[in-house]
């Protein structure tokens, strides 16, 4: 059993405990320790794992933001009780790691971070167990407990039956898969047997061990058919999803090749139906095997992972990303990373980034939105366009005045990096408020097209059959249906390209 005491962040002042052999930490809904997506923006969706292996706990970093153990950036680190862990460098939430020996692993009920603070919370989605008749057996699991018997050997037999029940329960909770707790349960039971057994003859110990091993074998064999049947069902679900994915890919290519509005509408309808089929298959798979579902969701190439990692910060996960978007994203990553002033832009980014992050964090804006400044001006406070936009964020004079900046014959606050960044953060926050946090790509697109222009596009869509539906207010729908100007279609992948480059500075030669 381990305990994570939250020293800062959205869970500050609470503790998370778990008996599991693998504990997932992040902002995702499937994490065992879940941070708040709005407050803890430095925590990735799947940020880290704590694993129990060979008698020790290890911290495994699975994020792009980094994990610190006692102030040191790590990818894998053996943990000791009292270690302090920060998820996400430079101000991420901090926890204190402790090994709690007061409750043996796998033998009790734990309160998750989302509990009610009085120890009655469910343990990371496991059923709340109600003890009956003195042996801690949950209702509905196995035969009724034996009446308590006197004498050392009879106590040992009762403890062995209790161990059998707990092993069975642990497997049931994981859908017939290995729970990772069998050895914990058996080891703890042997300690209890030792405590109640006064005469430790070798024959008696052999008998007790054989009973435990035999009962464990019965549990395993009894689950054999269930596991076999489950694997068959999983294979059928995966086959259904694969067929849907192949049809989705074919339709997206067809949509790239046509400009006919009626044909595009017909293909979009088919795409929506197939996407629903694929997503339902993932849901069915998660009910059968959570780990297998995670593998399916995280499939794809490196660029897919980078795109989804960014989208997930906004709750804007997309199932089917248009192939042409990925092609343009690759183009812009290559173009930006081979510019003659590439390293100068990186130096300017590092110079202004702390100020930018401070302003964006104050409004709960993920820092990826700040790459607007990379694309607009390469972080140059004195940049000026042919149409009169000026500054790092390229505000036109009317927009600047709307957000409290002074622009007249004597003073132009647009060249003040701090003042214009403050205004830009509020401007982007307003766009997110208007279009919805999950539609952040619309907000970015409207920074280029203008919010009035984006409103007109959405109003036109609303007049179409079913146009008021949320999925038709989505950037990807407008992208596939070719309802945005070419400049805007190119603008969004440029922003994501800058974010991906910055998330991987070593890969692109920006850091040693």
Q: What is the pLDDT of residues 208-224, one digit of tens each?
A: 566 666 665 555 555 55
- Model pLDDT for residues 296-317, shown as the tens digit of each residue: 777 777 888 888 888 777 666 6
Q: Does the pLDDT at position 263 exceed 60?
A: yes
Q: Is 246 exposed, middle or buried (0-12, 13-18, 19+ CB in 10 A)?
A: exposed
At residue 3, what are phi and psi to the nearest 5 degrees? -130, 135
- Give the CATH number of domain 327-503; options: 3.65.10.10, 1.10.357.10, 1.10.530.10, 2.40.30.10: 1.10.530.10
Pair 58, 29: CB distance under 8 Å:
no
Ordered by start, the domain boundaries in the chain are: 2-99, 152-222, 234-299, 327-503
Give the tokens for residue 165: 């029940």
pLDDT at position 144 over 60: no
What pLDDT sits at residue 203?
A: 54
Residue 147: predicted pLDDT: 39
Q: Is the pLDDT of residue 370 over 90?
A: yes
Annotate 114-125 with b (16+ C-beta within 10 A) or e (fewer). Answer: ebeeeeebebbe
Predicted confidence at residue 426, as pLDDT, reads 95
Residue 54 confidence (pLDDT) above 50: yes
Name the percent of the chain lying above pLDDT 90: 30
* DSSP assigned state of 98: E
Which strand (E) or helix (H) includes residue 6?
strand 2-6
Q: What pLDDT is stored for residue 305 in this prediction?
A: 82
What's the whole-number mean pLDDT along residues 229-258? 87
What is the CATH T-level fold of the domain 2-99, as seen in this structure? Answer: Tumour Suppressor Smad4 (2.60.200)
Residue range 354-377: mean pLDDT, rounded: 92
Q: What is the DSSP string of 27-92?
A: SSTT-SEE--TTT-TTS-TT-EEEEEETTEEEEEE--SS-EEETTEEESEEEE-TT-EEEESTTT-
Q: Extract the tokens encoding 4.
A: 């994570």
CA atoms within 13 A on the CB side of 277: 18
Output the average pLDDT for the chain: 78
pLDDT in tens, 178-202: 545 565 566 566 666 666 654 445 5
Dist CA 178 CA 168 (whole Å): 10
164-176: pLDDT as tens digits: 666 665 555 554 5
Tens digit of pLDDT for each residue in 388-446?
999 999 999 999 999 999 999 899 999 999 999 999 999 999 998 887 655 778 888 99
Neighbouring residues of 459: CB distance < 8 A, sequence distance ≥ 6: none
Q: Which residue has the tokens 């008698």?
A: 55
- Encoded tokens for 397: 């004079």
Question: Please, which pLDDT band fits residue 143 given cuts at 50, 70 and 90?
Answer: very low
pLDDT of residue 116: 36
């Amino acid at each position: 059993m381990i305990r994570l005491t939250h020293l800062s962040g959205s869970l500050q002042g609470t503790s998370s405990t778990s008996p599991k052999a693998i504990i997932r930490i992040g902002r995702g809904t499937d994490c065992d320790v879940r941070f708040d997506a709005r407050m803890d923006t430095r925590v990735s969706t799947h940020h880290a794992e704590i694993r129990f292996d060979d008698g020790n706990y290890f911290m495994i970093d699975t994020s792009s933001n980094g994990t610190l153990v006692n102030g040191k950036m790590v990818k894998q680190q053996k943990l000791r009780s009292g270690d302090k862990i920060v998820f996400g460098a430079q101000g991420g939430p901090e926890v204190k790691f402790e090994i709690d020996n007061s409750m043996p692993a796998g033998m009790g009920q734990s309160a998750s971070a989302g509990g009610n603070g009085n120890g009655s919370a469910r343990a990371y989605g496991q059923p709340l167990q109600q003890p009956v008749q003195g042996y801690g057996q949950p209702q509905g699991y196995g035969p009724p407990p034996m009446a308590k018997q006197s004498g050392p050997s009879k106590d040992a037999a009762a403890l062995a039956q209790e161990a059998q029940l707990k092993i069975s329960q642990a497997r049931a909770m994981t859908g017939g898969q290995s729970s990772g707790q069998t050895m914990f349960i058996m080891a703890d039971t042997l300690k209890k047997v030792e405590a109640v057994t006064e005469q430790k003859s070798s024959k008696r110990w052999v008998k007790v061990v054989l009973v435990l091993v035999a009962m464990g074998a019965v549990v395993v064999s009894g689950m054999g058919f269930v596991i076999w049947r489950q694997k068959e069902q999983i294979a059928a679900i995966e086959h259904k999803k694969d067929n849907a994915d192949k049809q989705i890919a074919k339709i997206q290519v067809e949509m790239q090749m046509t400009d006919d509005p009626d044909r595009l509408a017909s293909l979009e309808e088919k795409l929506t139906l197939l996407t629903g089929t694929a997503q339902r298959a993932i849901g069915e798979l998660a009910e059968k095997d959570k780990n297998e579902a995670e593998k399916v969701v995280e499939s794809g190439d490196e660029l897919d992972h980078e795109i989804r990692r960014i989208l997930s910060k906004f709750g804007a996960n997309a199932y089917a990303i248009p192939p042409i978007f990925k092609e343009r994203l690759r183009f812009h990553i290559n173009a930006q990373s081979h510019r003659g002033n590439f390293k100068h832009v990186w130096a300017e980014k590092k110079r202004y980034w702390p100020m930018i992050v401070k302003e964006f964090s104050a409004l709960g804006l993920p820092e990826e939105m700040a790459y607007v400044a990379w694309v607009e001006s390469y972080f140059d406070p004195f940049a000026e366009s042919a149409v009169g936009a000026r500054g790092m964020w390229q505000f036109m004079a009317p927009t600047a005045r709307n957000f409290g900046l002074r622009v007249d014959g004597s003073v132009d606050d647009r060249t003040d990096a701090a003042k214009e960044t403050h205004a830009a953060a509020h401007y982007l926050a307003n766009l997110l408020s208007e279009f919805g946090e999950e539609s952040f790509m619309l907000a970015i697109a409207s920074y280029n097209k203008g919010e009035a222009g984006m409103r007109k596009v959405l109003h036109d869509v609303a007049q179409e059959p079913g146009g008021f539906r949320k999925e038709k207010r989505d950037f990807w729908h407008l992208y596939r249906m070719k309802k945005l100007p070419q400049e805007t279609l190119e603008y969004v992948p440029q922003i994501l390209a800058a974010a991906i480059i910055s998330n991987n500075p070593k890969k692109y030669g920006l850091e040693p």
